[in-house]
Amino acid sequence: MSKPASEVRRQLGFFDATMIVMGGIVGSGIFINPSVVARHLHTDTLILGVWLMGGALAMLGAFIWAELATRLPGAGGQYLYLREAYHPMVAFVYGWVLLLVTQTGGMAAVAVTFAHYYRELTGIGWSDSAIAATALLGLTAINCLGARAGSNVQSALMLMKTGAIAALVLAGIFWGGGHVHATPLLDRPVSFGLIGAIGAAMVPVAFAYGGWQTASFVAGEMRDPRRDLSRGIIAGVAGVVLLYLSVNFVCVKVLGPVGLAATFTPASAVMRAALGARGAQWIAVGIAISTLGFLSQGILTAPRVYYAMARDGLFFEWVGRLSARTGAPVVAIVLQGVFATVIALLGKYEQILNYEVSVDFISFALTAASLFVFRAREGAQAAEAVNVPRHLSVIYRAPGHPYTTGLFIFACAAIVASTWAASPQNSVIGFGILLTGIPVYLYWSRRSKTSA
C-alpha cells in the first residue's frame, strides 16, 4: 500500500507550476476586496496604488521563493526551507499551523463561499455546509489519483477563472461607462492618519496576493523543480498582478471610489452596470469557478507538507505513505480534506480566518529571512548541506538581494503589526495556536528518537 519516498513520481512541468501558483493566489478575494480597500482610501490613485504596491510586494516574494526553490528542490517547499535554515521545530510549527489554521480554515471558508454561489445559481435545496463538504471531498478524491490528475483539474479551473476575469475586465472597459481620475492623488493631507489608512488597506491586498508560496510544496513531484518551479513562481505571480490591476482598474472606472466603497460585491456591480442582470449572473458563475479552483490548488499542494513532516518522523508514520498505484500521499490528502470538511460543517471557519493573517505573514518573514542564512552558507558547505553538486546548487538568484529581501521582510512585519493593532485579540489567539506546536514538536521528536 505504500512506496518509499524516493519513488515519488516527478510528472509536473513549467505550465503546471505556473497554473498552481496562479491558482493558489486567485480565489474569491479579488472579487470582493476592491471594495474593502475603497473603504479605507478614497481616490482612484490611492486605490490603484495600494494594489500596485501589493503586486510589487508579491513579486519580491516570488523572487525570494524562486531562489529558495532552486536551492532546496525537495518535497514540502517552505517547510523544507524553514527546517534547513533554522531548526526542525520551526518547520514543524509552520506545518502545524498550516494544518490547524491557515490551510484548512481557509479551505473551509472558500468551500462555503463556493456553496453559496452554487446554490444561488442552481437553486439546489442543499445547505451551504453540505455543498461545501461535497466539493471538498470530491476534490480530495480527485487528488488521491495522483499529482497529474490533480494538476490537470487545477489547470483547467485556472484557465476558466482567468477567462472569467478577462470577461469582467473587457465588459467594464467597453460597456461599463465611467472613467479613471488621475487627480486628486490623496484623499487627505500627508499624516499618520493617511499612513494608517494605507496600512489598513494593504492588509486585504496582501491577503488577496498571498498563496504563491504553496506551489513550492509540490517541488518533489516536478520533473525539474530548479528550473520549472522558479520560473513558474515568477510567471504566475506576474500574471496575477496583471489580472488584479486590471480588475481594480475597471472597478474604479465603472463604480468610482464612492460607489466601490458602497458595494460588497464589486465584480457583480461592474457586470450589472455593463451587461445588466445577466452580466451579474455570469460573473457569479466565474466566482464559483474561481473558488473551486482555489480549493483544488490547496488540496493538491498542502498535503505535501504533512507528508514531509511524517517522513521526518515528526508526525504519524502513516501520513508519510505514498499510494502504490498513484504515487500520491493519499493519507495526507485525505487527512486535510476531512479536517477542512469538519470545519466547514461545524461553521467555525470565520473564527479560524480571524487568526490567520498575522500568523501567515510571520511565516513569510521567517522564510524570506532564510535566504540570508543560505547565502551566508554558500560555497562547499551549502552544496553539501543540500546534497547537490556545487554548480547546480543555485541557478537563480533573487535580484536586488539583500535590499529587496529586506524590504519584503519589513513589509511582512508591517502587515503583522497592522493586524495586531486592528485586531489584537485574534492576533493573540493565532499566536497562541502557533505556540501550541512547540510541545507537540517536542513530543514527536522524542518519540522519533525513541523509535530509532
pLDDT in tens, 225-276: 888 999 999 999 999 999 999 999 999 999 999 999 999 999 999 999 999 9
DSSP conformation class of 77: T
Ranges 111-115, 121-125, 186-190, 386-390: which has the least confidence? 386-390
How far does Cα 273 stand from its chain's mean position? 31
Tell me: pLDDT of 383 over 50: no
Model confidence band, residue 87 (pLDDT cutoffs 50, 70, 90): very high
Model confidence band, residue 9 (pLDDT cutoffs 50, 70, 90): confident
Nearest to 433 by CA among 366, 351, 364: 351
Most confident of 8-12, 82-86, 182-186, 222-226: 82-86
Nearest to 252 by CA among 163, 199, 182, 195: 182
Model confidence band, residue 172 (pLDDT cutoffs 50, 70, 90): very high
pLDDT tens, position by position, 421-444: 877 888 888 888 889 999 999 999
Nearest to 412 by CA among 105, 216, 199, 248: 199
C-alpha cell at 403: 535590499
Q: Mean pLDDT across the stretch 350-372?
A: 84
pLDDT for residue 391: 43
CA distances from 317 to 25, 314, 331, 351 (A): 31, 8, 10, 31
pLDDT tens, position by position, 218-235: 998 998 988 899 999 999
Domain span at residue 131?
Answer: 5-451
From CA 249, how far away is CA 166, in angstroms rounded?
12
Ranges 128-132, 251-255, 314-318, 381-385: which has the least confidence? 381-385
C-alpha cell at 405: 529581501
C-alpha cell at 94: 509552520
Nearest to 169 by CA among 302, 1, 34, 306: 34
Count: domains in the chain: 1
Ranges 84-98, 104-118, 231-245: which has the least confidence? 104-118
Q: What is the mean pLDDT of the chain?
A: 88
From CA 448, how far away is CA 201, in angstroms rounded?
45
Give the up-direction half-sphere exposure of residue 423: CA atoms within 13 A in the CB hemisphere. Answer: 18
From CA 113, how far away is CA 91, in angstroms rounded?
30
Model confidence band, residue 155 (pLDDT cutoffs 50, 70, 90): very high
CATH of the domain at 156: 1.20.1740.10
pLDDT for residue 333: 95
Model confidence band, residue 379 (pLDDT cutoffs 50, 70, 90): low
Nearest to 270 by CA among 171, 136, 191: 171
pLDDT for residue 157: 94
Tell me: pLDDT of 381 over 70: no
Model confidence band, residue 187 (pLDDT cutoffs 50, 70, 90): confident
Q: Mean pLDDT across the stretch 119-130?
A: 89
Q: Is the peptide bond before 402 cis (omega within 30 degrees of 0)?
A: yes
From CA 19, how far away is CA 156, in angstroms rounded?
9
Tell me: pLDDT of 8 over 80: no
Model confidence band, residue 452 (pLDDT cutoffs 50, 70, 90): low
Q: Answer for the pair 311, 320: CB distance below 8 angstroms, yes or no.
A: yes
Cα angle 35-38-43, degrees, rounded to a multiple of 5: 145
pLDDT for residue 347: 75
From CA 71, how far away is CA 61, in angstroms rounded?
15
Q: Mean pLDDT across the stretch 160-189?
A: 92
Tell me: pLDDT of 66 over 70: yes
Q: Answer for the pair 404, 63: CB distance below 8 angstroms, yes or no.
A: yes
The amino acid at 338: V
Tell me: pLDDT of 350 over 70: no
From CA 160, how far away is CA 88, in angstroms rounded?
39
pLDDT for residue 388: 46
